């Protein structure tokens, strides 16, 4: 695949990125694309390695290795190298529902498992995919064909995030009548309101969902199933119901002063920013949310990084990002060999922008908030930080991060954003449908299956497997669609 000696002849080169000064002045996407010729050179680096871990999509040491969609990565790369972009799109579409989403927001599990990554830099598969899907849109290749024959079966999908959209897409192609319900005012779920616009421009979502609507999928926004509509009515009207509501129950920080004004969950904050941007067609930035404020972001993951980048764009006076765990190593440890996901220090766009803006990485490791301090009006004015250390719990034998006495320090803060992850699905939805949950509050199913404990009710995405990646959510939606189709028709050709 690719050019036989390509990985020796060409060094990894990525598309142009706008400077920190330029990109922090707006909320537009800032990753550009290479020329067609340069992208072909990058695809030439795919080395016909014989065992393409890039497309395995399996769990190793508790982490996903390779693409969960099992994209035919070497074959797509080979077609890009040869300039056969339409064929590359057709090949990619066999396994992938929405390359335009993952090529922007995926951490590229395929690249982490690339054989070139063992001793050199990986093939730029993510940017190759972006080149393929954008070429396809620009040349009118992307469409959602309306099925010529309908099965007479009706399916409701609750939630329009990546898993719900993927399930709806395949079931509609099969000929079922699909209605997608979304409690927000716009379609997209996590894609719309959980990911900032500069990372995923919302016109990319609209472009795809418009095609899906034209193919017959019905989208109903502003409908909160379990509240506005009863689960019983749903089960009477539809032959199958797919719950794809996400893991939207945020993990809180229980510390004294938690009721202070100015403490928010990260996704709520990001959602409000995006909604105000979209309502004004990106002409008005809600700077009042963070301007001239000292911001503390609790959480070192992707959402925390998005909060850092967003607050810089909104004019924050300072941004500090707290991470409970120790700083990762700069390179793989012997206990973390390839092709495992590399547990190493990465500097994402938000941290890059903070370094440019404030002169230092915003992350502070092994630290958390011990207390929130309010002023006389109940507004947050300061937080007390405390260092953490790893200690073994004598009862369980597990190591946990515990506060170190005497390390407390007080710092100014008028806005705290809690990005500490999610605990699972929200009670009112699962209770409404009466489905069983597991110990992590995810909807319970048999291993590798998607049917819940209630007949005709299925689950996929983060509501099924817990907080995860967009690419895994898409894979979940596609697999759930196959199971639903087989249940409805007695067999499936999806």
Q: What is the DSSP letter of 379?
A: B
Which of 456, 473, 457 lies closest to 465 in space, CA to CA?
473
Q: Is residue 48 scored above 80 in pLDDT?
A: no
Residue-wise pLDDT for 67-76, tens only, equals 999 999 999 9
Task: Give the integer Cα–Cα distance in Å for 194 and 154.
Answer: 29
Domain boundaries, the chain: 6-138, 154-248+423-489, 263-418
Provide the mean pLDDT of the chain.
Answer: 96
Task: Give the integer Cα–Cα distance in Å for 84 and 7.
Answer: 20
Residue-wise pLDDT for 401-428, tens only, equals 999 999 999 999 999 999 999 888 889 9
The predicted pLDDT at position 266 comes to: 97
Q: Is residue 1 scored above 70 in pLDDT?
A: no
Residue 77 tokens read as 């790369």
Domains 154-248+423-489 and 263-418 share a fold: yes
Residue-wise pLDDT for 353-407, tens only, equals 999 999 999 999 999 999 999 999 999 999 999 999 999 888 888 889 999 999 9
- Average confidence (pLDDT) over 175-191: 97
- Average confidence (pLDDT) over 277-283: 97
Asked whether the whole model's pTM tops 0.85, one would answer yes
- Cα separation values, 457 from 41, 42, 368, 453, 492, Å: 47, 44, 40, 8, 18
CATH tag for 263-418 (out of 3.30.70.1230, 2.40.50.140, 3.30.429.10, 3.50.50.60): 3.50.50.60
Which superfamily does CATH assign the domain made up of 6-138 to? Answer: Alpha-helical ferredoxin (1.10.1060.10)
Class of domain 154-248+423-489: alpha beta
User: For the ranges 116-125, 311-320, 420-429, which has the lowest average pLDDT?
Assistant: 420-429
Peptide bond into 339 cis (omega under 30): yes
Reported confidence tier of residue 2, pLDDT bands at 50, 70, 90: confident
- Average confidence (pLDDT) over 315-334: 96
């Amino acid at each position: 695949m690719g050019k036989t000696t390509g990985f020796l002849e060409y060094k990894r080169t990525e598309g142009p990125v706008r400077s920190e000064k330029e990109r922090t002045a707006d909320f537009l996407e800032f990753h550009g694309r290479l020329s067609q010729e340069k992208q072909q050179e990058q695809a030439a680096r795919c080395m016909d390695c014989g065992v393409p871990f890039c497309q395995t999509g399996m769990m190793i040491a508790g982490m996903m290795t390779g693409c969960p969609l099992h994209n035919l990565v070497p074959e797509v790369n080979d077609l890009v190298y040869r300039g056969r972009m339409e064929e590359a799109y057709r090949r990619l579409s066999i396994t992938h529902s929405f390359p335009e989403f993952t090529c922007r927001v995926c951490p590229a599990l395929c690249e982490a498992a690339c054989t070139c990554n063992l001793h050199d830099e990986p093939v730029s598969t993510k940017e190759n995919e972006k080149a393929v899907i954008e070429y396809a849109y620009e040349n009118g290749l992307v469409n959602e064909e309306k099925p010529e024959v309908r099965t007479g079966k009706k399916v409701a999908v609750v939630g329009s995030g990546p898993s719900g959209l993927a399930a709806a897409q395949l079931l509609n192609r099969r000929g079922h009548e699909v209605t997608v319900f979304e409690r927000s005012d716009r379609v997209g779920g996590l894609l719309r309101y959980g990911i900032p616009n500069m990372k995923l421009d919302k016109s990319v979502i609209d472009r795809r969902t418009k095609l899906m609507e034209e193919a017959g999928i019905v989208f109903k926004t502003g409908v909160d199933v379990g509240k506005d509509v009863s689960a019983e009515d749903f089960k009477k009207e539809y032959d199958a119901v797919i719950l794809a509501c996400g893991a939207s129950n945020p993990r809180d920080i229980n510390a004294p002063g938690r009721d202070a004004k100015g403490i928010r969950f990260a996704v709520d904050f990001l959602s409000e920013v995006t909604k105000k941007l979209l309502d004004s067609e990106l002409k008005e930035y809600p700077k009042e949310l963070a301007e001239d404020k000292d911001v503390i972001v609790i959480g070192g993951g992707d959402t925390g990084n998005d909060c850092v980048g967003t607050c810089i764009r909104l004019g924050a006076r300072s941004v500090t990002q707290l991470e409970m765990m120790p700083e990762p190593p700069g390179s793989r440890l012997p206990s973390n060999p390839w092709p495992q996901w590399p547990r190493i220090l990465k500097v994402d766009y938000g941290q890059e922008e903070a370094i440019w803006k404030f002169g230092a990485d915003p992350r502070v490791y092994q630290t958390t908030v011990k207390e929130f301090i309010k002023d006389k009006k109940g507004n947050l004015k300061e937080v007390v930080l405390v260092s953490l250390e790893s200690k073994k719990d004598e009862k369980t034998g597990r190591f946990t991060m515990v506060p170190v006495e005497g390390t407390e320090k007080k710092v100014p803060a008028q806005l705290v954003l809690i990005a500490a992850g999610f605990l699972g699905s929200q009670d009112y939805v699962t209770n409404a449908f009466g489905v069983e949950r597991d110990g992590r509050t995810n909807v319970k199913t048999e291993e590798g299956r998607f049917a819940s404990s209630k007949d005709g009710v299925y689950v996929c995405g983060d509501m099924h497997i817990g907080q995860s990646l967009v690419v895994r959510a898409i894979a979940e939606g596609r697999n759930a669609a196959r199971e639903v189709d087989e249940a409805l028709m007695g067999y499936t050709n999806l």
